Amino acid sequence: MLAAVLGLWSMTAGSVGAQEAELDAAAQVALQPLQPGDALQVSFSMEPDLNGIYYVDEGGHVNLPILGSRYVGERPPADLKQSLIVEYDGQLRNQTVQITWMRRIRVFGAVNVPGLYHIDGTMTLADAIALAGGATPIGKLDDVEIIRQGQVVLEGLPASTLVGEQVYSGDQIMVPERSWMSRYAGVIIGATLSAITLVLIATID
């Protein structure tokens, strides 16, 4: 009985620890200032012509409708968003403004639509791969790599962990191809069995 209780406690503690690690990673991503190439998606309830995605330039500035140029390179996105909404409230009346900060990432390798994408702060590694059309039939989701600032920071990620893995601005996500052997294992086994069958038949005859 004691062993069962201890085992259950260990599993619960491990689950809580994993959840805390995910929360810490999400908090770190939320605190990372917007980088050149990132963007702010702005939408206005009464002026849809101004709706759009506005990109951060190399100097850390973004040119927003009505407000003009704003420097966004050193502030946590949540604080920046709140500050901009306050500015818009001072300029507009009876209108709701929604602002979403978006990270620029690159997804390549064995995905259906490789390329550059912008994802919002709630999206995870699994979401990023889904944006790229998901893995191809030869894609290996059990060995995804994240390249950050020119260094491989995560590799060999199990597919089950992709949903909880956070993504940073500038991350490059690589989905590798399955090996030739794993792709054609069924064909090889079938051919081998056929050859064995022929040999047995010839032996019997």
- The helix or strand, by DSSP H or E, that contains position 3, with its residue range, turns out to be helix 2-31
Report the pLDDT value the prediction gives residue 193, as an integer from 0 to 100.
52
Q: 143-166: per-residue pLDDT in tens? A: 999 999 899 988 888 888 888 888
Nearest Cα residue to 27 out of 155, 168, 130 = 168
Higher pLDDT: 162 or 59? It is 59
Report the pLDDT value the prediction gives residue 111, as an integer from 0 to 100.
96
Report the pLDDT value the prediction gives residue 5, as an integer from 0 to 100.
43
Report the pLDDT value the prediction gives residue 6, as an integer from 0 to 100.
46
CB 79 within 8 A of CB 95: no
What single-letter DSSP state applies at residue 110? S
Alpha-carbon dihedral angle through residues 188, 192, 195, 197, given to the nearest 10 degrees: -130
Q: Taking residues 168-185, report their average pLDDT.
A: 78
For the chain, give the percent of residues with pLDDT over 90.
Answer: 55
Report the pLDDT value the prediction gives residue 181, as an integer from 0 to 100.
59
Report the pLDDT value the prediction gives residue 156, as an integer from 0 to 100.
85
Nearest Cα residue to 94 out of 47, 52, 40, 53 = 47
Q: 7-22: per-residue pLDDT in tens? A: 554 555 555 554 544 5
Decide which of 3.30.10.20, 1.10.150.120, 2.40.50.140, 3.10.560.10 is the CATH code for 103-182: 3.10.560.10
Confidence of residue 187 (pLDDT cuts 50, 70, 90): very low
CATH 3.10.560.10 boundaries in the chain = 103-182
Strand residues in the chain grouped as ranges (E): 39-44, 52-55, 61-64, 68-71, 97-109, 115-120, 144-148, 151-157, 172-175
Q: What is the distance of C-alpha 121 from the center of its chain?
A: 10
Higher pLDDT: 58 or 190? It is 58
Confidence of residue 32 (pLDDT cuts 50, 70, 90): confident
Q: What is the mean pLDDT of the chain?
A: 82
Q: 90-135: per-residue pLDDT in tens? A: 988 888 999 999 999 999 999 999 999 999 988 999 999 999 999 9
Q: Taking residues 55-69, report their average pLDDT.
A: 95
- For residue 120, the cross-strand partners are 102
Alpha-carbon dihedral angle through residues 65, 69, 70, 74, given to the nearest 10 degrees: 130
Report the pLDDT value the prediction gives residue 31, as an integer from 0 to 100.
81
Report the pLDDT value the prediction gives residue 53, as an integer from 0 to 100.
96
- Contacts for 67 with CB less than 8 Å, ≥ 6 apart: 84, 87, 88, 91
Q: Are strands 97-109 and 172-175 parallel, antiparallel or unpaired?
A: parallel
